[in-house]
Amino acid sequence: MPNNLNNWTYRDVIDVLKEYGFHLNHTRGSHHYFIGTVAKTLRQVCVPYHGSIAIKPRTMKGIMLQSGMSKEQWFQ
């Protein structure tokens, strides 16, 4: 896994989300929506899928906020 917000790919994000119990809910175009429970709260996370292209840092920050997981959980 990357150590900062740069160079995250779709596969990296999905691996972390699945590790914490998220699963694919639905797809709309190139955006995949995952749902899971974090701290007894149901969360929905939208992850853009554009092949092996890296996700932009600002988008990655939004994904992290949507998930409700701490930075430590993301950067293990």
The per-residue pLDDT for 61 is: 95
Q: Which residue range(s) make up the domain with 46?
A: 10-69
Q: Does residue 39 lie in a domain region?
A: yes
17-58 confidence digits (pLDDT tens): 999 999 999 999 999 999 999 999 999 999 999 988 999 999
- Residue 37, domain CATH: 3.30.920.30
Taking the CA atoms of 45, 26, 13 and 59 in sequence, report the sign of the dihedral they define. negative
Q: Does residue 76 lie in a domain region?
A: no
Q: Which tokens in the block code for residue 1?
A: 């896994």
Could you give the number of structural domains in the chain?
Answer: 1
How far apart are the C-alpha atoms of 1 and 7, rounded to whole Å? 9
Predicted TM-score (pTM) of the model is 0.92
Q: Does residue 25 lie in a domain region?
A: yes
| Other C-beta atoms lying within 10 Å of the C-beta of residue 52 | 7
On whether the CB atoms of residues 49 and 73 are closer than 8 A, the answer is no
Q: Does residue 5 lie in a domain region?
A: no
DSSP reduced 3-state for 64:
helix
Q: Does residue 65 lie in a domain region?
A: yes
